[in-house]
Chains A and B, each alone.
Chain A
Amino acid sequence: AQKVTQAQTEISVVEKEDVTLDCVYETRDTTYYLFWYKQPPSGELVFLIRRNSFDEQNEISGRYSWNFQKSTSSFNFTITASQVVDSAVYFCAPRSGNTPLVFGKGTRLSVIA
């Protein structure tokens, strides 16, 4: 079984600041994927990224980057030069085999203009 801890319940930053959202996971599986989802104020859940357990290279997509460190079981998400549109709840979720995603409690990010 997997477990996810997103220790930051809420974060507030001023626009253009960088912000990192932490995710620590627990799993007994050697092969798994890690996902990040975004839930904007409108309520829908949007898939952002997946990363497999064999690939520890950092991923960068525009202003978003992800740092996966297997040694610390962390898969952190950084937003560079944050914008008001980044305000949302962000969820980290591991998945192994054909099992459902196990979600953390989420981190609510507020970006203030």
Chain B
Amino acid sequence: DAEITQSPRHKITETGRQVTLACHQTWNHNNMFWYRQDLGHGLRLIHYSYGVQDTNKGEVSDGYSVSRSNTEDLPLTLESAASSQTSVYFCASSVGGSSYNEQFFGPGTRLTVL
């Protein structure tokens, strides 16, 4: 069955370290998204991509970067982790081209920055 996976599921790191969170989908979806979820803020968009070599900034992109070298993967990199980036991170994907299509979400990665 097609799916979307995230790894690692839990990560503890130290302030200043570079961290990369992986997202892999097997639906062959063009669109992929990264959100962070914090208490009191709901889900906020970090970055998104509409296809290979395409990346776009979301609402809270500072301190994060993404690259899309193939259809299946959109890794999220924290350049220099900060305590404010402690959060739960969700990756999502959808068929492109229409507002009709729902986004499918991965299970999430809980990141703690000490």
Contact = CB atoms under 8 A, between A and B. Distances in A.
Instruction: Specify which of B31, B42, B98 lies most central, judged by the most chain A CB atoms within 10 Å of its CB.
Output: B42
Contacts of B58: 100
Contacts, number: 53
A50 B108 contact: no
A47 B101 CA distance: 11
Contacts of A64: none
Nearest to B58: A100
A45 B90 contact: yes
B107 A43 contact: yes
Nearest to B105: A45
A49 to B, nearest CB: 9
Contact of A105 (B31, B40, B90, B96): B40
Interface string A1-42: 000001000000000000000000000000111010000000
Interface string A79-111: 000000000000100011111111111100000
B108 A43 contact: yes
B48 A105 contact: no
A101 B40 contact: no
A24 B99 CA distance: 18
Contacts of B90: 45
7 nearest A-B pairs in the assembled complex, by CB-CB distance:
A105-B42, A45-B105, A103-B43, A95-B99, A47-B102, A33-B99, A106-B42
Interface of B: 31, 33, 35, 40-45, 48, 50, 58, 88, 90, 92, 96-100, 102-105, 107-108
Given A43-B108, A96-B99, A103-B35, 16 more contacts: A33-B100, A43-B88, A44-B108, A45-B105, A47-B102, A50-B102, A91-B42, A91-B43, A97-B99, A100-B33, A100-B58, A103-B42, A103-B44, A105-B40, A105-B41, A105-B42
Interface of A: 6, 31-33, 35, 43-45, 47, 50, 52, 91, 95-106
